[in-house]
Every structure is written in structure tokens, then in C-alpha cells.
Chains A and B, each alone.
Chain A
């Protein structure tokens, strides 16, 4: 008799994550606490189908600001990211980049808000800095994977700079351009969300319109946002880029003054742990107490909730992806149905998870549920899109089975590996977002960071941000080791 074979590493990893997510879910608060969520949902739906583009005269300006922050932030991030990619072989550059990208744009924005107030510098830097860290990593990978063969034919004695310009750069350039377009799309989402902490972008108006129940205005704002993203490939042309950048720099209200004494106080006083500021005897012991209190009362519960939510959202994303990718797969659906699928996925992935969570939170009341749904919808739409596109390249034999059998026997086994690769690749992204959703009132790390900022306790805020960054780097490391152990690879187009 043949023994049943051991479960494959793939199956073991899957069931392991599934188990962890179920345990997390058992302890999670996912209750809907609003009295009549359906009534509010009905009102929202009514608003969605009756968009009102004239409700605020500042709509166009909000859109322009959103674009301006995104363009300048992504451009700056690109320049720095490219420079860092060239020296990415240095260990301290790699570690530095991992660190700056482990901190979410919104956390950067909260920090810069203390330094520069509502100056445009806050928004531009909040996007540029973490993006530089991400772009550096991706560009370094692109350069590494570029065709090395032409190097052999370069004449002996050619300078390094010349060889780089002629051999390595040209082939990487097209990848850089594509990736920059994707980053700009992300930048637009980030820029919109920055409005939630007070910058004059779409998010700002979205929040106030939502709070006042003006759902027609919410709808108009979102529709405009989708249009900008959907038409990006039309309006984003290389010769126009300088025009856009200059235009963006001109329209932003740079006049907002910031005080240098504020900035210097932030670095020399505000971020020094409180007990150490006074100095003197016993300050070290007091610092120990301060640290212990902060770590046990805030960092620890924040971390537990962040990890709990991340694990549930990660597995939920996987499940939703399995449902979403068939919506655009020519192997499983006809052309008409796929058009609907594409529309749905475009909307779901263009809506920043932060905005989605904000909307759901207002409908359902505070619990983990809005965050789980928002994170998994958004991320599953992204991965589902990539996997759906991947199935376009799969050739089935003519007599392949149809319907559910085809899904389970022909399609799923082919896409499962790439899907897991993408899922683990986004694990770190999901964690970063989970931490941030705390600002909306879910008790993840972001909640404690936001409260610390609100209380003007910047020493606490910074320490909690550091904890968040470390957590992020840990998950990134675990994810990388799982991906390499299971030999899960993502391609350049999917980063």
C-alpha cells in the first residue's frame, strides 16, 4: 500500500496562516455597533447615485492640490530613490531605506506637521521620504536583474560612469518609467489620504462632507478621484512632466510660515523622553519607569492588535482574491461579465483602504470589522487584478473542463503559487496600513501614536513610531524568508 504523502510545504504554510487567522478572529471585536447601519447605508447609496459636483466651489482646488502633492512627492522620491539605488549595495543604505519605508506616509506627515505646520513641505516630504525608500529598493532590484551580457563587450578601460550610462541604464529605464507610473498612482492615493490629517487635499473635504452626511458630495469627490487615476496614462506624458511639476510647485500655498524655533525645539526638547529632559539624579530611573509604562500600556497592546488585525486581513485578502481574479479572467468569464469585473476591481483598488475603512467605520461603528473589510477588499482587488491578468497568458488545452471544475482543476493550481507570492509581498503593506488605521480609532499602534501627537507628547509618539517600524521590518524579513523557502517569486511588473 502506498502511504499518503506528507502535506506539501505550500499546504502547510497555507493551513498555518489559516489557523493563526482563525485564532486571531476568535479574539477580535467584529461587532456592528451602530443602531441602524442599513439606514445610513441606504443614504450613502442614494448619495453615491446622485453625485453633486457643485456642492463646494473648492472641489477643483482640492483636486489640484491632491495632484500637486502627489507629483512633487513622487518626483522627489524618484530622484532620491534613484540616487540611493546606485549605492544600494552599501549595508547602511539598505538598512536606512528599510527603515524610512517602514514608516507610513501618514506617520511621516504627523511628524512633519509638528515641524512645518500645514506648509506644503509637510505633504511633499511625507510622500517623498517613504517613497524614496521603496523606489530605491525596487530600482536596485531592476538594475540587478538587467541584462548583464552587454557588459562583456564593453572595451577594456571604459569608465564606470560611462558603462553605467550605456549598458545598465538604458534597459532599466523603461522599467523605471513603468514603475514611476505605478508609484504616481500610489502617490495620488497617499496624497488624498493626507487630507484626513488636515492638508488641503481630497481627503480633507471627504472627511468633512462625510461627517455632515453630505453623501452626494462624497460621491462627487470619489468619482473625480477615480477619473484622475483612470485617465492617468492619457494625461501623464513625458514632455508635459516639467509643466506639471512647475505648475504643482506654483499652486501650492508655500506662504504658510513655519517657525525655526519650533523646529529646533522639536529636535532638542520635544522628542527627548520626558524624564530625561530635566536631567539630574534619578532621571535615569524615571526614564526606566516611563519606558516600561509606555511599552506595557501602549506599545504592547497596540502591537498585539496590529498583528491580530494584520493576520486576519492577510488571510481574508487571500480568500477574496480567489473570488476576485475570476471576475477578469478570460478562462472563466465572457467578455461582457469581465468588463463589469474590471470596473469593480478598478474602483476597489483605486479607493485608498484608509478612505474605505473610514466610510465603513462610520456605517458600522468602531470595531475591527471595517478595517478587515477595507484592507482585504483593497488588497484583494490589487492582487486579483494581477492574477487575473496573469491568467490571460495561460493556454488551456481545447478539451479542458468547464465551470467550477475548470476553476478548481485547471486554473487554481496554476495561479495559487503566484497568488501566495503576491500575498506575502503585500503582507508588509497590509501591516503598515493596519497600524495607520489606528488613527481612525481602532486600537492598533496608530491609535496610540495619534493620541500621543494629540496630547503633544512627541517623545511618546516617536518611540511608538519606532516600535511600528521595527514590527514592519520584522514582518518584511519573515515574509522574505517564507517567499524564498517556498520559492515564491514576484515579477518586475508586480512590485
Chain B
């Protein structure tokens, strides 16, 4: 059974239609990258996927969206906020429980964030910040991750590390990416968005970044 299917649907926000004529079917285990110019509607499409998937998916928003006043532990713990009682959540806010700390630690170790567990997220470097946002999504128990430009503000080495972690720890990966080479390398299916429509949907095997040129060239130019 497919994970998600869109049949001639449209999407937008604030009553403004941005995407239309959407036909997509996503199977479990796929690794899909959305590519296209900024403003083409990648984020809108990703958001539509996320809304359909509900609690099955963890979201990694474009701006990381960490809570500044909280520690790394608290921000990561938020990935399972929906699975715990309010009392448990309140307790962990004030005094983190040992077993929850251990659970969070397991996610932080491979991301090299263990020592930062109880630092405020305001003190983190750009890469650590992005990895904390990833850790939160990985801590989420759903096996789908929806990530909007997850590696936009880190260097290539860290970008690979983050994408690698997503691919190994989540079954299905849905990404919006502006780096074409990385998109082809880490995704097995590329969806190209242009002018409010899906104009390309194919396997990435054998593709080169220049195959995506048509998505970026302005048709009127």
C-alpha cells in the first residue's frame, strides 16, 4: 500500500493557490528530493506531504525552529511530545527523567552532540544547531522524515553527515534541496517543481546535475 497519493490536487496557503494539478504517489521506503528554483513551491508541496502523513512523519522545518530558551535535551525530547502525558512532559521540563535522558542520548551520540545535551541551543554553532533539529526529527518515532532544506546552512562535510543519518535511520525520506548534486546522490527519486506544477518525476539513478538545468532556466528568458 502506498504511503501517500495525490490525485490532481492543488496546494497553497492563505487562500492563495501555489501548486495545482499535483499527481504523486509515494511508497514506503522511498527517498525523494524535491528540486526547483526558490519560490517554485517546494516548501508548499513538502508541507502538503507532511499534513497528509500526520503523526507518521517528523518535520525538520527550513529554519530549524528550535526553542531558544531550552536545552538540546528539551528540544530533542519534543520529538515525542505527542506520545507522553502532560505530566511526564511537565516533569521532564523541570527535571529530566533518567530513562528519557538515556533515550535522547542514544540519538545525540552519533550526531556528536552528547556533551551539548544540557547546553542552551542559543550557544550552539551553526552545524550543531542544525544537527539538533535533525536529532529532534530522528527522536520522533515515525519512520518518515520530511525535511525542508535540512543542509542549507552547513558545509558539505556536515551536509553529508546529516543526509546519511536520515537515510539510515528513517525508512522514508522526503527532502527539499537546492543542492542538485547532493539531491541526486542521496535521493533515489527526483521530483522537479516549476511554475506551480510538477514538471519532472523520475529515478535519480544515472542523472547528472545538468539534467536538472531545465528546472532553473526561466522559460521567458
Interface residues, chain A, with chain B CB atoms under 8 Å away: 147, 149-159, 161-163, 165-167, 170-171, 173-174
Contacts and interface: CB of A to CB of B under 8 A. Distances in A.
Interface in B36-68: 54-55, 57-61, 63, 65-68
A474 B77 CA distance: 47
A149 B137 CA distance: 15
A166 B61 contact: no
Contacts of A174: 69
Contacts of B81: 154-155, 158-159, 162-163, 166
B82 A150 contact: no
A487 B133 CA distance: 37
B74 interface: yes
A157 B67 contact: no
B59 A153 contact: yes
Given A162-B81, A162-B89, A153 B136 contact: yes
Given A162-B84, A165-B93, A155 B69 contact: no
B61 A162 contact: no
A156 B82 contact: yes
Contacts of A151: 65
A170 B89 CA distance: 13
B170 to A, nearest CB: 14
A149 B65 contact: yes
B97 interface: no
Interface in B83-137: 83-84, 86, 89-90, 93, 133, 136-137
B67 A171 contact: yes
A167 B89 CA distance: 12
Contact of A153 (B55, B60, B84): B60
A139 to B, nearest CB: 15
Interface size class of B (residues with CB under 8 A): 20 to 34
CB-based closest 7 A-B pairs: A170-B69, A158-B82, A157-B82, A149-B65, A155-B82, A158-B81, A162-B89
Contacts of B84: 162
Given A153-B136, A162-B89, A147 B68 contact: yes
A157 B55 contact: yes
Nearest to B90: A165
**Taking each of B60, B66, B84, B86, which has the highest tally of chain A beta carbons within 10 Å of its own beta carbon?**
B86
B211 to A, nearest CB: 32
A174 B122 CA distance: 14
Contact of B78 (A147, A154, A156, A157): A154
Contacts of A170: 67-70, 74
A67 to B, nearest CB: 29
A394 to B, nearest CB: 26
A152 B140 contact: no
A364 B174 CA distance: 78
A248 B83 CA distance: 42
A11 B173 CA distance: 59
A165 B84 CA distance: 13
Contacts of A167: 67, 78
B192 interface: no
Contacts of A154: 78, 81-82
A149 B65 CA distance: 5
A156 B68 contact: no
Nearest to A163: B81
A153 B69 contact: no
B80 interface: yes
15 contacts: A149-B65, A153-B60, A153-B78, A153-B137, A155-B78, A156-B55, A156-B57, A157-B82, A163-B81, A166-B67, A166-B70, A166-B78, A166-B93, A167-B67, A170-B69
